[in-house]
Amino acid sequence: MYQQKPSHYQTFLINKTQTQEEKSADEVKARRKSREDNTEQEVSEASEQETRSEMKARRGVEKITQSKECEKSEQTAKHKLK
């Protein structure tokens, strides 16, 4: 027996299906890349937020330390005046 060649319409359908599969594969890749980029952005934003929080905490500690030092120097100055 001989092998029947696909008709032009069947060839068209095969090519159309392959094209759709390639497009969907490209879309999947694009979605993955988008997720990875979003994840990286979220991580960087989170680390920036942590850094900001740490800086605020340090400033708070520095202010407390400075105020305590001011109180001590004021007390020392009052004792010297007496």
Q: Where are the domains of the chain?
A: 30-82
Q: Which residue has the higher pLDDT, 82 or 20?
A: 20
Q: How does pLDDT run across 33-75, given as a tens digit for each residue?
A: 998 888 888 888 888 888 888 888 888 888 888 887 878 777 7
Cβ-contact 38, 30 below 8 angstroms = no
What is the average per-residue pLDDT within 9-25? 87
Residue 23 DSSP SS3: helix
Assessment of whether the complete model's pTM goes beyond 0.85? no
